[in-house]
Structure 1
Amino acid sequence: MKSRGIVFLFYIAGLAILTFGISLIINAGLGAGPWDALFVGLAENLGLTVGSWTFIIGFILILINGALLKERPDFAALITMFLIGIFIDFWLLIVFGGVTLEAYTVRGLVFSLGVLSSAFGIASYLQSNFARNPIDNAMMVFHELTGKSLSFSKTFLEVSILILAFFIGGPIGVGTVIVAFGIGPLIQLFYRPITAFRHRLAAV
């Protein structure tokens, strides 16, 4: 029971930290991550909020991931997508609503913090096998099907979505490239120490 409680804590905290990082990256205005650029582009061109599009695309990915693994779609992941959508809109519309960053130095620092927070959040909530974000589960599916590392799998998918986001008109910039190539290695960097920390907590 204690172990489940710890895993649940990593799950919720990870989602909160992940979405906090996403909001920082978007607000920095240096180019959002590929997936987030896609969601922002859809929100700007078709309406609805960024969080809403996160949920909609997540639902589509749940179907795709299930088909690739030839398994029943993980509809429990809708819980994660719902929480991520709520958290993103909370950070963007309530906490950071109306915030404008001008100085490039500040924007660079905010962006860097956003990237680190996003990778840390992903590595944290992946400690749970429950209702994984289908975006990150796609990384795990690619990893399992190809045998490639988590770093390579994440980077490959990020670059693919980057191309799609570009044609949709999402906020693409130098930051987008940094996220596409940098967040995979950062997840790999954070994953093992966070896992070790979780095991130590469970053993106490």
Structure 2
Amino acid sequence: MKIRILFYVIGLFLIGFGVTLTIKADLGAGAWDALNVGLSNAFGLTVGSWVIIIGIILMFLNAFIVKGRPKFFSLITILFIGFSVDFWLMFLLKNVEFDLFLHQVLSLIGGILTLAVGVAMYLQTHFAVNPIDQLMISLNERFRLSYMTAKTIGELSALILAFALQGPIGIGTLIITFFIGPIIELINKPMTKRYEILIKR
């Protein structure tokens, strides 16, 4: 159980760190992250606060889609990620700016890889799923859409809203949208093996 909790907590904090690096790169954040930044700039509150607010909205939306009850345990995941994003953005990386294009690219790549490792770690635990991921599952269950189609619908919806709110959309957004899935899949296999070895000890 200790290993499971450790993977869950570290994974979520890595997700927050990865998100922060992609935002700091200033080349375009992921669709949902761009939406949260856009909301923060337009209405105030921290980016992490909007992560939590959007997560709660999605939690109820997912329940409505499948005509079921909200998965309240996902609040734990939402809170961890929201606090993690604010921790990195407001404290450790608050005054960090990447002026050189090379540093921006490295920040983006580092953010994507860190994000992928974090997702692969927290998914091993099978605890409450992030409402963004749950949206894909809900659309699949209700409308029999493929995961790829359901994921695309969610990402495009967030992208449209982020664009309307002038969130940080750029080449990085496209890179994250098309490459984060395959990278997570690549990292997930060795992560699963490592997790199973540690659990059996």
TM-score, normalised by the number of residues in structure 2? 0.92
The one-letter code sitting in structure 2 at the alignment partner of 1:202 is I
Matched, 1:31 2:28: yes
Residue 37 of structure 1 and its aligned partner are, at CA, apart by 0.3
The one-letter code sitting in structure 1 at the alignment partner of 2:122 is Y
Matched, 1:141 2:138: yes
Instruction: Give the match for residue 125 of structure 1.
Output: 122
Residue 90 of structure 1 and its aligned partner are, at CA, apart by 0.6
Q: For the Cα contact (< 8 Å) 1:14–1:125, is it kept in 2?
A: yes
SS of aligned partner of 2:69: coil
Instruction: Give the match for residue 58 of structure 1.
Output: 55
The one-letter code sitting in structure 2 at the alignment partner of 1:9 is L
Instruction: Give the match for residue 81 of structure 1.
Output: 78
SS of aligned partner of 1:72: coil
Instruction: Give the match for residue 40 of structure 1.
Output: 37
The one-letter code sitting in structure 2 at the alignment partner of 1:77 is S
Residue 155 of structure 1 and its aligned partner are, at CA, apart by 4.4
The one-letter code sitting in structure 2 at the alignment partner of 1:114 is G
Instruction: Give the match for residue 193 of structure 2.
Output: 196
Q: For the Cα contact (< 8 Å) 1:61–1:135, is it kept in 2?
A: yes
Residue 147 of structure 1 and its aligned partner are, at CA, apart by 6.2
Residue 75 of structure 1 and its aligned partner are, at CA, apart by 1.1
Aligned counterparts of 1:25 and 1:80: Cα–Cα separation in 2? 20
* Structure 1 unaligned blocks of 5 or more: none
Matched, 1:5 2:27: no
Q: For the Cα contact (< 8 Å) 2:31–2:155, is it kept in 1?
A: yes
Matched, 1:116 2:113: yes
Moved more, 164-173 or 191-200: 191-200
Residue 191 of structure 1 and its aligned partner are, at CA, apart by 2.1
* Structure 2 unaligned blocks of 5 or more: none
Moved more, 156-165 or 117-126: 156-165
- Length, aligned pairs only: 200
Aligned counterparts of 2:150 and 2:39: Cα–Cα separation in 1? 24
Query: Aligned in 2, Cα 1:116/1:103: closer, same or farther, shift over 3 Å?
Result: same
Aligned counterparts of 2:125 and 2:81: Cα–Cα separation in 1? 15
Moved more, 124-133 or 165-174: 124-133
Aligned counterparts of 2:136 and 2:106: Cα–Cα separation in 1? 27
The one-letter code sitting in structure 2 at the alignment partner of 1:88 is V
Q: For the Cα contact (< 8 Å) 1:155–1:184, is it kept in 2?
A: no
The one-letter code sitting in structure 1 at the alignment partner of 2:19 is I
Aligned counterparts of 2:53 and 2:172: Cα–Cα separation in 1? 24
Instruction: Give the match for residue 104 of structure 2.
Output: 107
